[in-house]
Structures are given as structure tokens and as C-alpha cells.
Structure 1
Amino acid sequence: MSGIFSKIPNEIVVKIFCFLPAKDLCSVSLVNKNLWSVTQDDYVWQSACDNQFPADYVSQELKKMINEEPISEGCNSDEQQVVNKTNGKKLFKRLHRHISFIAKERGVVWLDCQERGGNYHHWKTLEDSQSEFGKVVFLEHVWWFDVFSTLKAVAPGTYYVVWRLKVKLRQISLHDLNFYTTVVEKIEDSNEETIIHEYNHIPQRIMFTNISRKNDWVEYRLPYKLVVPEREVINGKLLYHNVHIKIYNYDGFLKSGLWIDYVRLRECDGSRVYEQFES
């Protein structure tokens, strides 16, 4: 290794890397071959998961990852768990994602798979080749509008909230939907949450009309910037932040004609241009 890292024992370098954010790890890997080699060590990524995320969240995502992986030929289930557990980089990527796939997460009231939905489902899950995930949700008709999602253990930073939508206006219109977002702090192994930031935005009615004129998917960026504070360790427990994202309207009028692909947190970037639909 060159520079200061050539004077530090390799084990210490690995320990330091375990506390670096993903972006910094990727930047370090570009310095030289030796540092690149260190960043490929699965121990670094596995330790980064343990150091930077609450234990219960790591455990949940690891179980999901194991269940989603096909069992390799000749491996029993215990062996397969060991194989999957060593893929720390993949696990870290899952933990660090700031996106929710609505159709998969099922955070929608009266979706087609819901109990007692009968043949009159208010929301439908549809396959869509233009979706990043292959499936979207479609609003057939509903009076009580409530779509929600939670992004867990979000890394500190400033973000835009971006919804990928498509609108088809009918005689029944969309309006007065509240795009509501909260940042909550939470201590690992605790069920209690404290709201520290709260954001509301009810778009102008022209917004839905303008999106419908596109007759295509659009990324609708909410006008506020979402601030997620630094994490802390308090009495040996990690204090981290979840983000709850929701669109709702409980007024008594029938709503219809909305497709939702995903909601995503995207780090603020002045060079990225978003289309405006409310001006």
C-alpha cells in the first residue's frame, strides 16, 4: 500500500474500512490494487453491516436474502445459509437501499391480494415491462386513499423523495392527496419511535393533469429536502433513523386512475434535473 496505509498493519486497515460508508469504500477501492483487494474482503462488508446497521434489521434482511437465493446443487439448507452469509457485500447493498417496491411490499390499503377483497379489488397488482421491478400497483377506484412504506436504517444525508407515477384522468379525478413523510429515530431492540422531522405536501390539482398529459411514467420529486441526521451509539445501542413515506386522502370523493411503480430516496444532486408538473 502507498502513503499512510503502508505504515499501518493490514488488520487495522480492515478495521477502519469496516466503519466507512459504501461510497467511501468504493472510492478507496480505486486508489490502487492493494486497497482494492482489501475492499473485496467479505469480512469488511460483513463487519460494515454489523457496525452500521441495527442487529435486528441485519438479521431480517439476511433471512430474506437466504430465502430468496436458490439452493445450490449438492448443498443442504444449513450449507446454503453459510454460503449466503459470506456474501457481505450483497447484504450491505440490501441494507443500504433507499427504495421501496410498492407492489412487493404490499403497503397499500385494499390491494388485490387482501383478504375479503372479493372480485371488487380497489387496487390491482399489474405486470409492467417498463417497471424497474416488473410489477406496479394500479388504482381502480377507492374512497379511502392510503399508500405507505417504510425505509429502514437510512444513511445520514439530505435526500429528495421521488415517486414514479403514471396518471390517467377520467371523470373521477385525483386531487388533494397529501404526500406525507416523517423521519423517526429508533434505538435498536426497541419498538419505540420518535418523530424528529415531518413533511407534508399537497400538490396543486394541475400536477395530476400535467402528468396525465405525458401518458407515460414520470418521476415526481417532492419539493422538500429530507434530512436524516447522523447515527449515534447510546449506552451501547445504535440510535438510527427510519423514514416513513405515505400518500393519503380520507375525504369522501372517489379516486381513480393512478399507477405507482416505486418510491425512492435520492441524494440531493444539483446537476440532476427533474421535470416540473406544478408550474
Structure 2
Amino acid sequence: MDLATYQHQHHHHHRQQQQQQQLQHRELKTNTTKTFEDIPREILHLVFIWLTGTDIANIGKSSRTLQLLVQDDYLWSVMTKVRFPRIYKETLQEINDCRNDQSGNDSNSSMSAICWRDIYMAKDESRLSAAKNMHITHIKLPYWRIVHTNESIYGATAKLHSVCWFDVNGVIEGVPPGRYRVQWRMRLSLSARWNEPLDFTASVIPKKKMSAKEEQKKKEEEEEAVLSYTTPPEFYAREDVVTNTWILVTMPGEIDIKGGWGFTDVRVSHEKRTDFWKSGIELDWVRLQPAGEAAGEGLLVDYESRHTFYWRTSHGMRTSSSSHDLTAEGTVQNNNGMWSSSWCGDSDSGSVDDFWMLD
């Protein structure tokens, strides 16, 4: 065998070895590659419990396998336990009460009616009903009353007639990390024009006991996560605010939930505990709105009606314009058609004739 033949055979053998090694490497890589769906269900549960209900719903749209996974009610029970522990315990107590019930089939029916997904999603939006989920001091006539109405997604609102000790507060549970604005849905009648400036607050509630050093650090961080705002003196005198129709009032400033805190409870309040009488306020709900969704900075007021409003004055009738500046730090925006009121006569204003709304 001459040298040229030997080199040719050696080169051919070397190429065969390289091709075989590449093929083996490709097969090994193919066999070891895993998709998201190949992750064990227990591991996916550990990931999903730190997501919101909206996130889980979107994940379920990505494949049939994940859709089946997110339909598992056990997953939603674990998510509820992590994000809303109080609600989880109360629901378990309700299940135990059903088991101890001596009513036979009725007990089994009550237990089967419990859906963890529905329980979780009812709290997923970080919103509270003033009438159903918040504590209101003197929540009875002649001070306050609960109004059952289809103008609220909760079916009820809290209407103030007249009170000195004005205190409405509640806890929004399981708020994900992020920056938020505080937004109230309310309606103000003419009798609110004599209200003094009222306070809006939002603050983080500590979750667990810590060491002294950790507690001090957390306290400093939580002091930064306190939002407090007092309405300007002219707020309740503005004819573009006291419209007797539903408005969305977004407070200035933001509350920051740190990433390392996980799901956090936030206390929100609307209050003023003085000797002066307050009236003319109807509250529907309060929520924490992601800061990126806000239409602007400062105090924002969004209308929820297409109608034009008129006030009777000593000089005749005057109409409200569609947009006004509230203060130097805020604006009024007209978002037509979110909700619509049928009329605006209100007993709190003294007389229906004092206030008109025309198409």
C-alpha cells in the first residue's frame, strides 16, 4: 500500500468517526431536551402558586396539557392557601362544618359546590366592596345605609347620610409585588359641598414576626410603602366632581410592594374623625390599580356617564364642561360610557329640583 492510499483511507476513517460522534451527540441532545410540559406537576405547582389568577389563565391558553393542569381544582386550593391564607382557613372550616352536618345529602351537595378557582378569582383583582368587604363605623341609619343596586358589580353600595366620625377601612389581601395607585369608585351629591377635606390612606400590613434587625429593615421599607392623601379644600366644591354620578377617583402617589415581600396585605381607608359633619358620599369599591395603567400623574377623576350635568344657581342654569383642571397637580378626564346613570335626583341634596341631568 503506497503512502497516498494510506492517507486517503486514514482520512476517510477519521471523517466517519467525526460523523458518528456528531450523530451520537445530536441523539443525546434530543433525548435530554425537556419542554415546559415535561416538568413534574409538583414543580409546576411550586411555580404557579406565586402567579396571579390572570397569569394562570394565560398559561392555560398555551397548550392542552397546561390547560388541563390549570383546571385542576387542587392547584387552586394550594394557590389560595399561599396567597389568601385567611380565606383558605375559613373555607376549610366551612367544609368541616358541612361534614359534621347531619343533613345527609344536603351536606354532600354543599361540599361539592365549593370551587377553589372561583374563591381565588373573586379576590384576584385586589379590589374591595365598600358595602360587603370593608368596616364602616356607624353603619346604620341615620348615619349610613347599604343600598342594594345593580349599578354596582357587587350589587350593593355604602351611602353616607350624615356622620362626624367618618371611617371606612378594609384590607386588600394577597397583593402581588409591584407599584400601585389607589382608586375609589364613588358618587358625590350636592350635600357633599360642605364637607371638610377628607383623608385617603394605604399602608402595608406586616406578615410575620422577625428578628430585631429584620424588623427594623422591614419597618423602614414599609414606611416608604405608606400612601396618604388629603383632598384639597375646594375638592367638594367643584361642580365637575360633585356630579351625582359615578366617578373614579385615583389618588396621587404610588405604593410600592417590594419583590422580596411576596404577596402582601394592604390596608386602605377613607376617613376623617372630627366634630364636623360629613355627608353626600356614596362608595362602591376601592382597588389597587397597577401604576402603569394610570392615565396620568396627580389626582385623576374619570367620569362614568355620557350625560351633561346642570346646576341651578341664583343666576339660572349653568352646565358643566366635559373637562376641567381639579388642581395644579391633577386633571379631570371624561371617559364616556364606562357606566351610565339614568337620572340624578337625590334626597341627600335636599330637593330633586336643585340638581338636573339632561341628555
- Same fold per superposition (TM over 0.5): yes
Specify which of 68, 71, 77 is matched with residue 37 of structure 1: 68
Q: Distance in 1 between matches of 2:168 and 2:37?
A: 52
Residue aligning to 1:278: 326
Q: 1:103 to 1:54 in 2, by over 3 A?
A: closer
Residue aligning to 1:251: 274
Q: Is the CA contact (8 Å cut-off) linking 1:185 and 1:240 kept in structure 2?
A: no
Q: Distance in 1 between matches of 2:51 and 2:88?
A: 17
Aligned residue identity for 2:105? C
Q: Is the CA contact (8 Å cut-off) linking 1:166 and 1:211 kept in structure 2?
A: no
1:58 aligns with 2:84: no
1:221 aligns with 2:247: no
Q: Is the CA contact (8 Å cut-off) linking 1:167 and 1:211 kept in structure 2?
A: no
Q: Is the CA contact (8 Å cut-off) linking 1:65 and 1:91 kept in structure 2?
A: no
Q: 1:84 to 1:227 in 2, by over 3 A?
A: farther
Q: Is the CA contact (8 Å cut-off) linking 1:18 and 1:47 kept in structure 2?
A: yes
Q: TM-score scaled by structure 2?
A: 0.61
Specify which of 118, 123, 126 is matched with residue 90 of structure 1: 118
Q: Distance in 2 between matches of 1:172 and 1:42?
A: 50
Q: Distance in 2 between matches of 1:62 and 1:95?
A: 17
Q: Distance in 1 between matches of 2:192 and 2:267?
A: 32
Question: C-alpha offsets along residues 24-71 of structure 1, whole Å, 9 cap, x if unaligned?
Answer: 322221212222122112222222223x2364442125557999xxxx
Larger RCO (CA under 8 A, 6+ residues apart):
1
Q: Is the CA contact (8 Å cut-off) linking 2:190 and 2:242 kept in structure 1?
A: no
Residue aligning to 2:106: 76
Specify which of 265, 269, 275 is matched with residue 292 of structure 2: 269
Larger radius of gyration: 2
Percent identity between matched residues is 21
Counterpart secondary structure, 1:201? strand
Aligned residue identity for 1:48? M
1:241 aligns with 2:272: no
Deviates more, 1:133-142 or 1:202-211: 202-211
Q: 1:65 to 1:229 in 2, by over 3 A?
A: farther
Q: 1:30 to 1:226 in 2, by over 3 A?
A: same
Q: 1:17 to 1:110 in 2, by over 3 A?
A: closer
| 1:1-279 equivalence runs, <5 A | 4-10=35-41, 12-50=43-81, 52-53=82-83, 55-61=85-91, 63=93, 75-77=105-107, 79-80=108-109, 82-85=111-114, 87-105=115-133, 107-112=135-140, 121-170=142-191, 173-187=194-208, 196=223, 197-208=225-236, 209-230=238-259, 241-270=264-293, 272=295, 275=301, 278-279=326-327
Q: Is the CA contact (8 Å cut-off) linking 1:169 and 1:212 kept in structure 2?
A: no
Bigger helix share: 2
Q: 1:32 to 1:142 in 2, by over 3 A?
A: same
Q: Is the CA contact (8 Å cut-off) linking 1:124 and 1:138 kept in structure 2?
A: yes
Question: C-alpha offsets along residues 133-183 of structure 1, whole Å, 9 cap, x if unaligned?
Answer: 121111111122111111123222222211111111238612310112111
Q: Distance in 2 between matches of 1:214 and 1:74?
A: 54
Question: C-alpha offsets along residues 170-222 of structure 1, whole Å, 9 cap, x if unaligned?
Answer: 3861231011211122129xxx9965422210111333224544330001011
Question: C-alpha offsets along residues 100-131 of structure 1, whole Å, 9 cap, x if unaligned?
Answer: 1111235111111xxxxxxx521111122211
Q: TM-score scaled by structure 1?
A: 0.76
Q: Distance in 2 between matches of 1:65 and 1:219?
A: 38
Aligned residue identity for 2:56? L
Q: Distance in 1 between matches of 2:248 and 2:278?
A: 21
Q: Distance in 2 between matches of 1:198 and 1:8?
A: 40
Size of the aligned set, in residue pairs, is 255
